[in-house]
Amino acid sequence: MKFMPRAATFAAVTFCAGALANAATLDAVPASQEAPVQVINTQEHHVVPAPRIAAQPVLKQDGEIVQPLPEAALKEDQDFATLSAAVAAHEDDATADAELNCLAIGVYYESKSEPLAGQLAVADVLINRTKSGRFPKSVCSVLTQRGQFSFVRGGKLPTPPANAQWRKALAVAKVARNDQWDSPAGEALYFHARYVRPGWNRPRVATVGNHIFYR
C-alpha cells in the first residue's frame, strides 16, 4: 500500500516542474516581438511665414471690377449738350501728340476766325482725307501735300502763337478726333472761302461761316 503515495508524490513533482518550465517559456519572449517604441522628434519646428495676399480690385455686388478712369478718358466718353460745352471741356488741356498738333494747326490757320461749327468742319475735312484713300493717311502729310494749303511754305508747318485762339483750335481738334460732335459738313473732303470761285464740279455738302464744303 505504500506504492500509491510515492506515485502521487512523483506526479506532483512532475506537474510543478512542468509549470515552472512553461512559466520560463512565457517570460522568454524575444525583444523583437515587443510593441514598437514611438520615437519623438525633438527638432524645433520651423515657422514658415504666410505669403502676402495682394490687394484685389474692388468688386461691386454684381462682380464688376471698378477701376478709376483717367480724366482724359472721362472727357472722351462724355456727352455734351452743345458744341461749345464740348470744346470748353478741352480748353484747359494743352497736351497733344504730333497728329493732334497738326490737326490743330490746320484748324487754326484755315478757320481761327470762324465759328466753332466752321472750325469743326475744317478739322473733319482733314480727318476725312486721311480715311478716303485718295490722300495721305496722316493729318500732317495731308497738310504738307503740295499745293493744298496756302499757309504751308516749303513743306513745313508754321508754329502758331500760344494764344486763346490756338487753345480753342486745339480743343476743337480734340473734339473732332474723339468724334464728340457731328460736323455740319458731313463727309466733305474739300472747302474754299466764299469769295473764291474755283469752279469745282463737286457735290456741295454745306456752307458754314465763310466756307463752302464739298465732297
- pLDDT given at position 39: 44
- pLDDT given at position 186: 84
- pLDDT given at position 8: 43
| Angle, in degrees to the nearest 10, between helices 164-177 and 98-111 | 120
pLDDT > 80? residue 106:
yes
Per-residue cell: 203? 457735290
More confident residue, 95 or 68: 95
Delineate the domains of the chain, giving CATH numbers in brackets.
81-186 (1.10.10.2520)
Measure the CA angle with vertex 153, ends 208 and 177; round to 5°: 45
Q: How many CB atoms lie within 10 A of CB 98?
A: 10
- pLDDT given at position 15: 43
DSSP for 99-132 reads: HHHHHHHHHHHHHTTS-HHHHHHHHHHHHHHHHH
| Angle, in degrees to the nearest 10, between helices 116-132 and 164-177 | 50
Please give the share of the chain, as a percent, with pLDDT higher than 70. 64
pTM of the full predicted structure?
0.65
Per-residue cell: 171? 480743343
More confident residue, 71 or 105: 105
Residue 121 has phi, psi (to 5 degrees) of -65, -40
Q: How far is the CA of 168 from the CAs of 76, 91, 116, in angstroms?
A: 17, 6, 9
